[in-house]
Chains A and B, each alone.
Chain A
């Protein structure tokens, strides 16, 4: 399961995921906490391309549809942008 799916299925506001996880919209944008950022699997080129379109991206930006959760990410800290669109 991705962070995006977890958020959408549990009605957590602020993750729009308009495209449903096909990496085509950049509306599930999150900022990963600095301590966690390098522990995550690196983003591929397609994700970086989509982040160009995100609202106020920074170097800790990720698309939450690409963050697949597992036990080792227990305690992962993500912050939300002030909006998605």
Chain B
């Protein structure tokens, strides 16, 4: 069991700035995120896309923004629990008990939900029969590439995940790459490599095709693919891999008994608290009259929620507003030496 002042659900920009704001107030936070890396949508959806509306930063990519936020919270030595999803919340005395899908337990006086629009899950094949073969013949990620050695594999998708794995797996297996259009959106280098491998007969490329059916008993034996005109092709294969990016699902958050408005958590604008004391929600997942879904709004919400958390974590202390320019306490918390 881990005791902390605040547990933060999510590790996107609002969550990271909440760590900083809590840190300045002397509060310790633990962060849990379902993804394998920090950054939320910035890292997952648009790492290379420039953002133009972060105050005082004319232009920066999602990746850079996250890198800088991580640097800003270095002094607080925050623990990140990645690849882990918060499943259950329960009141325990005046505190909250939080349990993850990996059965990790936290006790905290407050929870800040900064869950974006829920958790990311791989987008799946649109066929019913693909469920039956999931993890035996149908995969959306690769844990151990040896599993695919000397097999017949069909890879679906047009981005870098599909291209990277096609290139890698073609070394030891027979790979057919299927995509809905003839252009691939991967990096020029990957696209060039794929075209060369096709020319050398190492990879078979089928475009513009999408999956149409999967055949087999216990195991997949073949699939059919179909183009926009209805033309169908059969391919013998052992495994199929889909790389269609990620979808967002609200997931367990919907079951915590919080007031929801169209997949968003309703909060008070005073401190971003939900209808339950000690549970706050910030960033894209929260809503209130006038809410704007911008990263900068998430930062402001993080600052307000941190003060709300302070009152619960330190009920006997009086909150004092301090500036980072002049406060000696804040300088100590940031590890800044007196000049």
Residues of A within 8 A of B249 (CB): 85
Given contacts A24-B41, A59-B228, A85-B249, contact A52 B244 (CB under 8 A): yes
Are B126 and A56 in contact, with the CB atoms below 8 A? yes
Q: How far is the CA of A85 from the CA of B263 in the complex (A)?
A: 14
* CA A48 to CA B181, docked complex, whole Å: 9
Whether A18 sits at the interface, judged by CB under 8 Å, is yes
Contacts A27-B247, A59-B228 hold; do A52 and B41 have CB atoms under 8 A apart? Answer: no
A85 touches B247 (CB 8 A): yes
Q: Which of chain A's residues have a CB closer than 8 A to the CB of B45? A: 19, 24-25
Report the count of interface residues on A (CB-CB < 8 A).
19
Contact A52 B210 (CB under 8 A): no
Q: Which residue of B lies closest to A57 (CB)?
A: B180
Question: Which residue of chain B lies nearest to A81 when distances are taken between CB atoms in the complex?
Answer: B126
Given A18-B117, A19-B45, A24-B46, check contact A56 B210 (CB 8 Å).
yes
Check A20 against B293 for contact (C-beta < 8 Å).
yes
CB-based contact A25/B248 at 8 Å: yes
The A29-85 residues at the B interface (CB cut-off 8 A) are 45, 48-49, 52-53, 55-59, 85
Name the CB-closest residue of A to B244. A53
State in angstroms the CA–CA spacing of A51 and B337 once bound together.
Answer: 52
A79 to chain B, nearest CB (A): 15
Q: Which residues between 146 and 181 of chain B lie within 8 Å of chain A, taking CB atoms?
A: 157-159, 179-181
Interface range for B: 20 to 34
Q: Would you call A52 and B126 a contact (CB within 8 A)?
A: no
B245 proximal to A (CB < 8 A): yes
A52 with B157, Cβ < 8 A, contacts A19-B45, A24-B45, A85-B247 known: yes
Interchain CA distance A7-B124 in the complex, whole Å = 25
CA distance A56 to B41 in the complex (A): 23
Q: Give the complex CA separation of A61 and B179 in angstroms.
A: 15
In this complex, what residue of B is CB-closest to A83? B126
Contacts of B117 in A (CB 8 A): 18-19
**Chain B residues, CB < 8 A from A24:** 41, 45-46, 49
Cβ of B245: which chain A residues have Cβ within 8 Å of it?
26, 52-53
Chain B residues closer than 8 Å to A59, beta-carbon distance: 228
The one of B49, B180, B247, B293 in contact with A52, judged by C-beta atoms closer than 8 angstroms, is B180
Q: Is B59 in the interface zone, CB < 8 Å from A?
A: no
Q: Please give me the residue from chain A that is nearest to B62 by CB atom.
A: A24
Contacts of A52 in B (CB 8 A): 157-159, 179-181, 185, 244-245
Are A49 and B248 touching (Cβ within 8 A)?
no
Instruction: Report if B67 contacts A (CB, 8 A).
Output: no
1/0 per position for B219-238, CB-CB distance to A under 8 A?
00000000010000000000
Question: Whole-angstrom distance between the alpha carbons of A22 and B46 in the complex?
Answer: 10
A49 to B183, CA, bound (A): 9
| Complex Cα spacing A7 to B244, Å | 25
Q: What string of 1s and 0s marks CB contacts (under 8 Å) between B242-269 and chain A?
A: 0011011100000000000000000000
Cβ-closest chain A residue relative to B116? A18
Shortest distance between the CB of A54 and any CB in chain B (Å) = 9
By beta carbon, the residue of chain A nearest B123 is A53
Contacts of A19 in B (CB 8 A): 41, 45, 117
Would you mind naming 7 contact pairs between A and B with Cβ atoms under 8 Å apart?
A24-B41, A25-B247, A52-B180, A52-B185, A53-B123, A53-B245, A85-B248
Name 6 extra pairs, CB < 8 A, besides A52-B181, A85-B123, A85-B248. A19-B117, A48-B183, A49-B159, A52-B158, A56-B210, A85-B249
Chain B interface residues (CB < 8 Å from chain A) = 41, 45-46, 49, 117, 123, 126, 157-159, 179-181, 183, 185, 210, 228, 244-245, 247-249, 284, 293
Interface residues of A (CB under 8 A from B): 18-20, 22, 24-27, 45, 48-49, 52-53, 55-59, 85
The 6 closest A-B pairs by CB, nearest first: A53-B245, A85-B247, A24-B45, A49-B185, A59-B228, A52-B158
